[in-house]
Structure 1
Amino acid sequence: MGRSRSAAATPALLAALIFLVALNLRPAIAAVGPVLTRIGGDLGWGESLLGVLGAMPLWAFAVVSPLVRFVTARIGADRTILAALLVLAVGDVARSFGGPTGVWLGTVAAGAGIAAGNVLVPVIAKRDYAGHVSMATGVYSACITTGSAIAGLTAAPLADMLGGWRPALALWAAPPVIVAALWSIRVMRGTSRASDGSSATPHDPHESRGTGVSADSCAKSAAGAASETAVASAKPSDAVAVESAAASLPLWRRPMTWWVTLFMGLQSAAFYTMSNWLPSVVTAAGFSDATAGVHLFVFQSLGILSGLMIPALMQVRGNQVCAAVVSSVPMVVSGLGWMAAPGLSLLWGVIGGMGQGAALVVALTLISLRGRTSEETVALSGMAQSIGYLLASVGPLAFGTLAELSEGWTAPLVLFTALAAVQCVVAVLAGRDPARV
């Protein structure tokens, strides 16, 4: 895997540590869903409070992600990654052994650490592997998906083996500590070179601004590659030449900006709602905790396959409507399926998993295509992610609240399906070529 001249001074093994960082960017979140009911039973919390717990990492993403660039400007990207890993580990431990208050504070800390890592991993990978960005993107995003899927699969068995949800969740503090120890070698090497008047990781002002990119831009394996493919086949020259009146407006006043932001928020809401609550829905249908973890694993891991497939539909008739709709409809099918035939939960997990992976790739590609310049794309990404994650947090929160109020899963699944249907409508609006609207 080729690397840029600016990163040539970084040994290959140290550069590759970024992929180990990526492995740590989802387990702290994904491991919660399969033991959510155990947390509620132990602490006496109902589904509403558990819904808040599921939404908190998304709030952290929305708040912390835009701030990471300021920290990076002061201490550098490598030191920020090191701090993020340590904050993540502390959050994992505090959440498990800090009592009820520790659960909240630890979740916030873990979410903040993940948010910083999510922002910087794509930036560092792009810098160190500038010659093979698509390949590097595929590797780090596959690592993120792998970490998420493994955590969801093993959470319930670990809780059974270790005697409860607390040690099962605390166990995930170990990997970031190990990676932090390895990453510190890279940090010290960079400090040593800086004292010699050179730098293994020179600062690029565009990279600094680029730290506003999606926290989930590395969540699925084909996201970066699909974005590059779509950009390469973007608007034809005649479409570029035709500037609509909306294009001269500030970004926040353009309707397309809000459609893209809404699409990002809705697809994120679907993914994080099911990541938190799917195990509870599955166990309520009569399956064991371990089986529920398998269903969650299938739902999360199939995003890699669908993310690789959806780029083929990204330029049908010169727009992204087909891809956006095709990636959105499976969630409607899954929601209806979980309501009508919960015994076939694995099938609905397969269908929904294919949809959620493809939808994220479409959302990231829309951001890449709708920005006319690199600076505008970064601004659109920051807006779509910050506001999008705030919208997405409504998903797990409302799902849990409705489950508690209705004492069942039908009402929350109706809401989930309704939001998925809204996503299908937004897909048409966000997928249109703005130059032809």
Structure 2
Amino acid sequence: MTAVAAPAIHDPTVSRSLFASRVTVLLAIALSAFTMRSAVTSMAPLLARVADTMGFGGTVIGVFGMLPTAMFALAGFAAPLSRRFGPERLALLSVLATAAGTAGRSMASDTSELMAFTTLALVGMGIANIVIPPLVKKYFNDRVALMSAVYLACLQLGTIMPAVAAVPLAESYGWRASLAIWALIPAVAVLPWILVLVRRGTNGTDRAARTGKTIGPIWRSPISWGLTFMFSMTSLITYAMFAWLPVIVTSAGGSEALGGAMVATFSGVGFLATLVTPRLCARAANPFPIVAASALCFLVGFAGLLWAPLTAPIVWAIFLGLGPSTFPAAITLINLRSRTETGSAALSGFTQGMGYLLASPGPLIFGILYNATGRWELSFGFLLVPLIALLAGGYHACKPRYLEDTLTPSRKSGSDAVEDVVEGELLPECSTSCS
């Protein structure tokens, strides 16, 4: 099912065409990945300015804060559209929506327009969350770990750069220009995706989308739930730290500058982890030790912030930054634990759709517990629950097996069993025993 398998005949023309196709897809994926968080992090530092201009208060700011995870969760359930229309078309739709929403909100005249265009941009980004991992598997099945690292590195850069540049741009050109400039990258990404679609039509590689092959109920697989808890609990803890780390530092007597430095360290170490973790996952038959080590790093960071926040604050931030290594691990495992593009798309949609839904209340609960007690013990105690769930999910997600195999009904035989797994297509292991 891989669209770029090496041709049997060593025709230089075919080889050049194949190389050009992969380069185009690589460019399209890299540009899309860069846009997958930019609309969030370019807005967050400017919310107070925007609120002053638009005249909305803390409640609306809170709604803007919850929109990303809510829209990412909603977009996760669009995974069946990938099978019907093809992931390339959805990728094109995602960058169009992101560009239109990002540009539109910079010109919004009131709060409702700002909210509507922001929602459009976030839905576009959420669709990209779902379709990029299966596209990596489809076009780079022989380089899954490397391409996962490239994709995740671009995603991290697209998270950090808008946050760093937002305020300086707003100071120089105004907040509208600061928001609008980030529409350029998804707009540029439209062209390579159009080229990918043209090449795909020429090569006839959309057969899988036309045949409508499906897999069985994905929620029946322990891999699905393992990856969901691994992904969601990582996101919950990470978003809680992003939201509350500066407050933890200042409440202990540290400066705002120190809080900012810790957030920067937290983000920077996470970026470095995305370059290494996919390769480690691909080389290990069972990468659960990576999950266990990441959980231990989270635990050390929690303990340091709770009991000695100003003793070695940058050290605690480094440990916290290593904790979310389970995020690139989960994204990489979506492809490593599926045999087919169809399986990867279904697993990506379920993992991220359910994952963001489960993660969304985490920062709110963390803050409510602190506001209720004025202390951090209950808040960090709460984070032990997702940490345990992360370990349990990682244990099941990391076992060396495939999604499609776990969905094979052992009590059925013949065509019924095959039909539940992949309609009209036998898996390699089933080609003799199930016939």
Query: What's the TM-score once normalised by structure 1's chain length?
Result: 0.69
Q: What letter matches 1:90 in structure 2?
A: A
Residue matched to 2:127 = 116
Distance 1:7 1:60 in 2: 36
Secondary structure of the corresponding residue to residue 416 of structure 1: helix
Contact 2:229 2:393 in 1 (8 A): yes
Q: What letter matches 2:95 in structure 1?
A: L
Contact 1:60 1:112 in 2 (8 A): yes
Is 299-308 or 53-62 further displaced after alignment? Answer: 299-308
Residue matched to 1:329 = 296
Matched, 1:153 2:164: yes
Long gaps (5+) in structure 2 = 6-13, 403-435
Q: What letter matches 1:29 in structure 2?
A: V
Secondary structure of the corresponding residue to residue 202 of structure 1: coil
Distance 1:29 1:80 in 2: 20
Q: What letter matches 2:57 in structure 1?
A: G
Alignment of 1:200-215 (within 5 A): 202-205=205-208
Q: What letter matches 1:385 in structure 2?
A: Q
Contact 1:7 1:201 in 2 (8 A): no
CA shift, 1:292, in A, is 4.3
Contact 2:97 2:121 in 1 (8 A): yes
CA shift, 1:73, in A, is 4.1
Residue matched to 1:92 = 102
User: 1:107-128: per-residue Cα shift (whole Å, max 9, x none)?
Assistant: 3222101112233334445555
Matched, 1:30 2:41: yes
Residue matched to 2:178 = 171
Secondary structure of the corresponding residue to residue 43 of structure 1: coil
Judged with a 3 Å threshold, the aligned counterparts in structure 2 of structure 1 residues 370 and 186 are, in CA distance, closer, same or farther, namely closer
Q: How many residues align?
A: 385
Residue matched to 1:101 = 112
Q: What letter matches 1:173 in structure 2?
A: A
Contact 1:23 1:143 in 2 (8 A): yes
Residue matched to 1:53 = 64
Judged with a 3 Å threshold, the aligned counterparts in structure 2 of structure 1 residues 90 and 251 are, in CA distance, closer, same or farther, namely closer
Judged with a 3 Å threshold, the aligned counterparts in structure 2 of structure 1 residues 15 and 425 are, in CA distance, closer, same or farther, namely closer
Matched, 1:16 2:27: yes
Distance 2:51 2:251 in 1: 15
Distance 1:298 1:307 in 2: 14
Q: What letter matches 2:58 in structure 1?
A: W
Residue matched to 1:223 = none
Two-structure CA RMSD over aligned residues (Å): 4.4
Residue matched to 1:43 = 56
The structure 2 residue matched to 1:352, chosen from 309, 316, 320, is 320
Matched, 1:139 2:150: yes
User: 1:378-416: per-residue Cα shift (whole Å, max 9, x none)?
Assistant: 444432222121101121332344455556766544433
Secondary structure of the corresponding residue to residue 261 of structure 1: helix
Contact 1:295 1:346 in 2 (8 A): yes
Secondary structure of the corresponding residue to residue 25 of structure 1: coil
Q: What letter matches 2:360 in structure 1?
A: S
Residue matched to 1:83 = 93
Is 146-155 or 98-107 further displaced after alignment? Answer: 98-107
Identity rate, percent: 28
Distance 1:14 1:311 in 2: 19
Distance 2:142 2:396 in 1: 35
Contact 2:32 2:186 in 1 (8 A): yes
Distance 1:394 1:346 in 2: 27
Q: What letter matches 2:180 in structure 1?
A: A
User: 1:125-160: per-residue Cα shift (whole Å, max 9, x none)?
Assistant: 555556644433322221111111223333444455
Matched, 1:278 2:291: no
Judged with a 3 Å threshold, the aligned counterparts in structure 2 of structure 1 residues 315 and 61 are, in CA distance, closer, same or farther, namely closer
Is 324-333 or 3-12 further displaced after alignment? Answer: 3-12
Judged with a 3 Å threshold, the aligned counterparts in structure 2 of structure 1 residues 155 and 177 are, in CA distance, closer, same or farther, namely closer
Distance 1:335 1:83 in 2: 40
Q: What letter matches 2:100 in structure 1?
A: V
User: 1:222-261: per-residue Cα shift (whole Å, max 9, x none)?
Assistant: xxxxxxxxxxxxxxxxxxxxxxxxxxx9653455643432
Distance 2:280 2:148 in 1: 20
Contact 2:300 2:316 in 1 (8 A): yes
Contact 1:339 1:410 in 2 (8 A): yes
Query: What's the TM-score once normalised by structure 2's chain length?
Result: 0.70
CA shift, 1:351, in A, is 0.9
CA shift, 1:22, in A, is 1.9
Long gaps (5+) in structure 1 = 213-248
Structure (1 or 2) with the larger CA radius of gyration: 2
Contact 2:73 2:353 in 1 (8 A): yes
Alignment of 1:68-79 (within 5 A): 70=81, 73-74=84-85, 77-78=87-88
Matched, 1:306 2:273: yes
Distance 2:98 2:190 in 1: 14
